[in-house]
Amino acid sequence: MAESKKHLDGLELSKEWQQASDCRAELLGYLKEQVPQIFCLRKEHSPQEEDELLQSRLLHPLECFLFGEDPQQGLEKLKQGSSTSSQLCGRVFKEGETVYSCRFECSAWCSVIDKLNL
């Protein structure tokens, strides 16, 4: 993973992950690089510095990835959508297939689940 990637905006990183041929490997590689830098390899950070690094390098990029857009905008859409009745996606599961319940727009969240092979 390039050293410069840690300076990318969360939205830019999430777009890179989504466009990667192996999204899961790209995402896990980024986490493998960043987690030790925040918690282990660098000088001791104050709790405030550690929280800022955690938010900017880990949480914000992951939120951008999950929402597929700015997290604040995505959260507003979810809040608006929760006031209306949801529709089922119509997916029919095969016998023995793991079943989960879609709580969000299926096209967005099911594709994230599928990309990560969860």
In a domain, 15, yes or no: yes
Which contiguous run of DSSP H or E holds residue 10?
A: helix 10-19
Structural domains counted in the chain: 1
Asked whether residue 38 is assigned to any structural domain, the reply reads: yes
pLDDT in tens, 18-49: 899 999 899 999 999 998 888 887 677 788 88
In a domain, 97, yes or no: no
What is residue 67's DSSP assignment? H
pTM (whole model) above 0.75: no
Q: What is the dihedral of CA 12, 46, 48, 62, to 10 degrees?
A: 30
Nearest-angstrom CA–CA distance, 25 and 22: 5
Q: How far apart are CA 85 and CA 71, in angstroms?
A: 22
The 3-state DSSP class for residue 103 equals coil
- Is the residue at 40 inside a domain? yes
Q: Are 18 and 112 in contact (CB under 8 A)?
A: no
Q: Is the pLDDT confidence value at 3 over 70?
A: no
The verdict on residue 117 lying in a domain is no
Find the domain containing 31 and state its range.
Answer: 3-84
Q: Is 57 buried (19+), middle (13-18) or exposed (0-12) by CB count in 10 A? A: buried
| 110 located within any domain | no
In the chain, how many H helices and how many E strands? 6, 0
Is residue 67 in some structural domain?
yes
Q: Give 74-109 pLDDT, tens digit per residue.
A: 888 877 766 655 566 666 777 777 765 555 555 554
Does residue 29 lie within any of the structural domains? yes
